[in-house]
Amino acid sequence: AQTVTQSQPEMSVQEAETVTLSCTYDTSENNYYLFWYKQPPSRQMILVIRQEAYKQQNATENRFSVNFQKAAKSFSLKISDSQLGDTAMYFCAFFQGAQKLVFGQGTRLTINP
Amino acid sequence: GAVVSQHPSWVICKSGTSVKIECRSLDFQATTMFWYRQFPKQSLMLMATSNEGSKATYEQGVEKDKFLINHASLTLSTLTVTSAHPEDSSFYICSAASTGVGSTEAFFGQGTRLTVV
């Protein structure tokens, strides 16, 4: 069974700093997708970034980028120039076909002014 | 992005009654929908995966007779909590998956806060 592990329950950084959230996963599949979602206090899940496993190039979305290491089954999220609005819960998720969308435990990120 | 509408956003029901939560994909066809339960300050726990026109696949430990899932069309899935009890109180979230080369993504409803009294 696929599992996703986020080993950092909480993180806190100062505004404008760079922060990296870690995520590892376990699967025997070769084709899958990985996501980072943000959940603000409203609890609406917001997609931050997506990575296709068949792509070697790391995905980037403005201030957000990932370090995808397929062999190591690692998928970390880097937030550059962090902003107060980045404060939220962040979840790493594994998606394989139409079968499973599984989440890690989450990391509570606080950006301090 | 695509829109997933979940209704109601909150509901209070009496113990022993049933509650139905709807999840609609408004502008795309979702062959697969996922239902989650989220406890305060915890992650989303996958309850079941439903594919249009077939029975839902439940995760281990989830009572399928208590949490009835129906995915009758490509745009609608429902979760019915039968004979609800206070321990069923939680936040329930649905997700609809859109799959395609380069466009695979899961879209989420706003969630439903269920309180059983």
Q: What is the pLDDT of residues A69-110, one digit of tens each?
A: 999 999 999 999 999 999 999 999 999 866 788 999 999 999
Measured distance CA(A73)–CA(B73) in Å, rounded = 35
Please answer yes or no on whether A45 and B49 come within 8 Å at the CB atom: no
Question: Where residue A25 falls among pLDDT bands split at 50, 70, 90?
Answer: very high
Write out residues 70-99 of A within 8 Å (CB-CB) of B.
Answer: 91, 93, 95, 97-99
> Residue B104 is encoded by which pair of tokens?
């695979």
Q: What is the CA radius of gyration of chain B?
A: 14
Instruction: Give the B-side interface with A, CB within 8 Å.
Output: 1, 31-32, 34, 36, 38, 41-44, 46, 49, 51, 57, 91, 93, 95, 97, 99, 102, 104-106, 108, 110-111
User: Could A98 and B31 be called an inter-chain contact, meaning their C-beta atoms sit closer than 8 Å?
Assistant: yes
A71 secondary structure, DSSP code: T
Give, in order, the Cα–Cα distances in Å from A1 to each of A38, B38, B64.
24, 20, 20
A113 vs A2, residue with greater confidence: A113
Interface contact A33-B42, CB threshold 8 A = no
Lowest mean pLDDT across A33-42, A81-90, A99-108, B92-101:
B92-101
Which residue of chain A is at minimal alpha-carbon distance from B40?
A: A43
SS3 of A53, please? coil
CB B45 within 8 A of CB A91: no
The answer to whether the Cβ–Cβ distance between A95 and B104 falls below 8 Å is yes
Task: Give the distance from residue B54's alpha carbon to the nearest chain A alpha carbon, in angstroms.
Answer: 13
Tens of pLDDT, residue by residue over B10-56, are: 999 999 999 999 999 998 888 889 999 999 889 999 999 988 878 89
Asked if A50's CB is within 8 angstroms of B105's CB, the reply is: yes
